[in-house]
């Protein structure tokens, strides 16, 4: 997976370009499926015959639900990689943790945005403070925003890879809360127990949802791959700089300079101790 | 057994040292507690409120004031180990990092309890609240104090030595404490008779949070002070 | 103390040790072997890597590559079992400003694993031996002068009776009597069988003890003269 391209500074490879194209094409197909080919969610009340349901808003769920699932996946990968950092001090795990956290945070932000847009017509509000899943997801977003802020505090990632791993592992403790909140606090959420059960699943609806999972799986794979390669190249650049600095430092010791430097030091030592 | 006693003795020693430093420097008593009261007063000004409004929001305002002040207390606690090579000396001493963590968190906890007591006095006097369920109030206050002290000590150690401790600490710590804020506020809502919720259920959440923060902190402290 | 290192195993053994400060290679491949009971004087120009070398031996700096063994233990994997037996006097004092001198030294004695009885017995003696007057012992550290702080800092190390002393410019900021105290301390440590690494500009003073002189520059050992009768730089 590590960038073993001939040309340094390049994050692309044949495989990842192909993957990127397929992911892009899938996104277009998903858009067509979700916004044009599938029908709105309209149900008839069994007794009154009134129309109810989510109508066109349901289309947002084809994006929202897959993104939420892939967000969990990214953060779980980040947690696994963080364990790897703590157990084995190798850069691979750290770059992996950083990449997946960044992709997961972007997804988390998108989940909040798409959820908010979906909530406007369905719940009649952009933002529902009483909803526990919304709250716990927001907290998750903030936790990982803090993680990324920590990572940005230095240009040398090796200095805080283990600290970052601890922050990531604390942050993912929120995931079970997000995931189980709907079941644990039924009366405190507008989220459905499971969106799948509620919808009347027609063939195309189900297919679109599944296609959404596939599409976002590809997108996330591609993003993580790219981000990993950037991180790996950053590491390589630092290692290269350190390597040449070591060589330079070894060669800087010329006998004349040394004599001069120590001579000065000895003279000064008597009166001027720091 | 002697291992455990040794561990507890180390932790007690660290806690006693931090509290002795606090007793001599009076940073928390002289600066953090007045700050917390000031926050309460500012809420009063900002809401331009009568007693009825303030009573409604009392528990939320109380815990926001506690969290903001806790940031300062945690910051102070972490700063002790940044002065003049004391962290290096601690690393060299061979003191178990977990004992150091428990000790420092205990000292922060004691200071937070003091802070909560003073703030509660502020609520009673300034906001005119009444305590309906004292037992719930005490238990929830103590458990939330443990959670805040443990998480705060963990993140204080994490942010120290990064050179941007002042700005990084809040954005790392406050989201982690969000569940504690929610749970403690609901429990206090019940204890102060402001809202009819099951305060004891939320206190259970606080207990879980306190336990997790303490265990994670004790386990992770070695990683944080060594790197 | 328990597990004394085995006879014949060097107290310090560095092989190709590289240490980074950020991305700067403060040590660029140091080989150094120090036997038990030796006094080694480290010297070199500013920025040569003396401080980093001492901190590396204390396990406070992680080697980027190469191996570091102290008292027969690998410092990367087993530093906790080593550190208690090593004393590092750095540029900082490691004292809490708001505690008194006695409270500070007592705390560090207990932190190093001494019992309350042992600690009480040793603390005042160590402080008085460092030349601090009894009147100062109950004073908060922030009221002390730099030289007095340094003496208190040394006392906190003395009470632990370390097997390896790492002294980084121990004379810095001390007056004549303070330097004499440091020299006596080095003498006592050697007499008690301890090993001493000291970086100092004050070559001739410490040289009186007949140390080996190791010169480092640019992060590597450039000269290791074994014995030097002091004064000259023997390159």
The Cα–Cα gap between A123 and A117 comes to 10
Cross-chain residue pair A86–B223, CB shorter than 8 Å: yes
**CB–CB contact C103 B20 (8 Å):** yes
In this predicted structure, the answer to whether residue A274 has a pLDDT above a threshold of 50 is no
Average pLDDT over residues A27-50: 80
Beta-carbon separation of B85 and C92 below 8 A: yes
- Give CA–CA dist B23/B32, Å, rounded: 13
> Cβ B92–C60 below 8 Å, yes or no?
yes
Report chain B residues whose CB lies below 8 A from the CB of A170: 154, 176, 216
**B175 at the A interface (CB within 8 A)?**
yes
Are A223 and A100 within 8 A, CB to CB?
no
Residue ranges of the domains in chain B? 2-226
Q: What is the largest CA-CA distance in chain A?
A: 103
Given CB atoms, is B64 within the 8 Å cutoff of chain A?
no
User: Which chain A residues have a beta carbon less than 8 Å from that of B163?
Assistant: 153
Q: How far apart are CA C202 and CA A139, in angstroms?
A: 58
The pLDDT > 90 percentage for chain A reads 39
pLDDT confidence tier of residue A189, bands split at 50, 70 and 90: low
Gap between the terminal Cα atoms of chain B: 30
Task: Decide which of A251 and B130 is more confident.
Answer: B130
Name the residue with tokens 């204080």.
B156
pLDDT tens digit string along C69-119? 999 899 888 887 788 899 999 989 999 999 999 999 999 999 998 999 999
Tokens of B65: 């004031």
This model's pTM is above 0.90 = no
Residues 6+ apart with CB under 8 A from B50: none
Q: What is the ipTM of this complex?
A: 0.90
Dihedral sign from CA coordinates of A146, A147, A148, A149: positive
Q: Testing the interface with B: which of A87, A101, A146 to mutate, by most B Cβ within 10 A?
A: A146
Which DSSP symbol is given to C140? B
For chain A, the domains span 14-269
Q: How far apart are CA A34 and CA A65, in angstroms?
A: 12
pLDDT-based confidence at A167, cuts 50/70/90?
Answer: very high
Nearest to A163 among B158, B164, B179 (CB): B158
Mean pLDDT in residue range A251-256:
62
């Amino acid at each position: 997976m590590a960038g073993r391209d001939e040309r340094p500074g390049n994050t692309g490879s044949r495989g990842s370009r192909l993957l990127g194209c397929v992911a892009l094409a899938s996104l277009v197909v998903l858009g067509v499926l979700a916004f044009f080919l599938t029908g709105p969610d309209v149900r008839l009340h069994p007794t009154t015959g009134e129309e109810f349901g989510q109508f066109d808003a349901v289309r947002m769920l084809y994006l929202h639900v897959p993104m939420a699932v892939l967000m969990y996946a990214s953060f779980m990968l980040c947690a696994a990689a963080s364990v790897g950092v703590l157990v084995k001090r190798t850069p691979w795990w750290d770059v992996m943790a950083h990449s997946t956290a960044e992709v997961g945070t972007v997804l988390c932000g998108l989940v909040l945005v798409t959820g908010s847009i979906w909530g406007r017509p369905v719940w009649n509000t952009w933002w529902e403070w009483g909803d526990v899943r919304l709250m716990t997801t927001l907290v998750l977003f903030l936790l990982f925003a803090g993680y990324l802020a920590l990572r940005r505090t230095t240009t040398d990632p090796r200095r805080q890879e283990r600290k970052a791993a601890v922050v990531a592992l604390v942050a993912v403790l929120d995931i079970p809360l997000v995931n189980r909140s709907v079941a644990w606090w039924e009366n405190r959420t507008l989220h459905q127990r499971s969106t799948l059960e509620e919808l009347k699943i027609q063939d195309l609806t189900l297919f679109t949802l599944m296609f959404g999972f596939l599409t976002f799986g590809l997108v996330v794979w591609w993003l993580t791959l790219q981000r990993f390669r950037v991180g790996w190249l950053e590491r390589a650049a630092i290692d290269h700089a350190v390597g040449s600095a070591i060589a330079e430092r070894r060669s800087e010791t010329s006998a004349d300079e040394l004599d001069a430097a120590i001579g000065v030091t000895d003279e000064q030592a008597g009166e001027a101790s720091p | 057994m002697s291992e455990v006693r040794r561990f507890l003795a180390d932790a007690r020693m660290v806690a006693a040292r931090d509290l002795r430093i606090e007793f001599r420097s009076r940073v928390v008593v002289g600066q953090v507690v007045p700050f917390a009261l000031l926050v309460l007063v500012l809420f009063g000004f900002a809401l331009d409120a009568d007693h009825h409004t303030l009573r409604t929001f009392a528990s939320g305002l109380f815990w926001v004031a506690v969290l903001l002040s806790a940031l300062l207390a945690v910051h102070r606690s972490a700063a002790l180990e940044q002065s003049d090579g004391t962290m290096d000396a601690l690393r060299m001493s061979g003191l178990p990092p977990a004992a150091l963590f428990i000790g420092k968190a205990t000292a922060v906890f004691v200071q937070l309890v003091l802070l909560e007591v003073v703030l509660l006095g502020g609520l009673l006097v300034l906001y005119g609240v009444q305590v309906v369920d004292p037992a719930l109030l005490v238990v929830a206050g103590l458990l939330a104090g443990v959670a805040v002290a443990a998480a705060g000590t963990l993140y204080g150690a994490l942010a120290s030595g990064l050179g941007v401790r002042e700005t990084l600490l809040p954005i790392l710590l406050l989201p982690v404490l969000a569940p504690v804020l929610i749970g403690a506020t609901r429990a206090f809502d019940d204890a102060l008779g402001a809202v009819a919720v099951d305060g004891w259920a939320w206190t259970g959440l606080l207990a879980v949070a306190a336990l997790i923060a303490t265990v994670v902190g004790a386990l992770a402290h070695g990683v944080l002070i060594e790197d | 103390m328990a597990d004394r290192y085995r006879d014949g195993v060097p107290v310090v053994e560095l092989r190709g040790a590289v240490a980074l400060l950020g991305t700067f290679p403060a040590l660029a491949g140091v080989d150094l072997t120090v036997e038990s009971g030796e006094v080694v004087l480290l010297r070199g120009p500013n920025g040569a890597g003396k401080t980093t070398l001492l901190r590396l031996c204390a396990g406070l700096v992680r080697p980027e590559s190469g191996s570091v063994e102290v008292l027969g233990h690998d410092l990367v994997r087993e530093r906790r079992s080593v550190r208690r037996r090593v004393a590092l006097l750095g540029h900082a004092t490691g004292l809490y400003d708001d505690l008194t001198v006695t409270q500070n030294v007592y705390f560090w004695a207990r932190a190093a694993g001494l019992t309350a009885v042992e600690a009480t017995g040793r603390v005042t003696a160590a402080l008085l031996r460092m030349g601090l007057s009894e009147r100062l012992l109950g004073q908060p550290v922030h009221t002390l002068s730099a030289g007095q702080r340094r003496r208190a800092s040394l006392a906190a190390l003395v009470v632990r009776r370390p097997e390896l002393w790492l002294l980084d410019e121990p004379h810095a900021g001390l007056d004549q009597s303070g330097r004499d105290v440091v020299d006596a301390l080095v003498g006592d440590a050697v007499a008690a069988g301890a090993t001493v690494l000291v970086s100092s500009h004050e070559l001739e003073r410490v040289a009186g003890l007949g140390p080996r002189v190791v010169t480092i520059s640019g992060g590597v050992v450039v000269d290791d003269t074994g014995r030097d009768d002091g004064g000259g730089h023997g390159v």
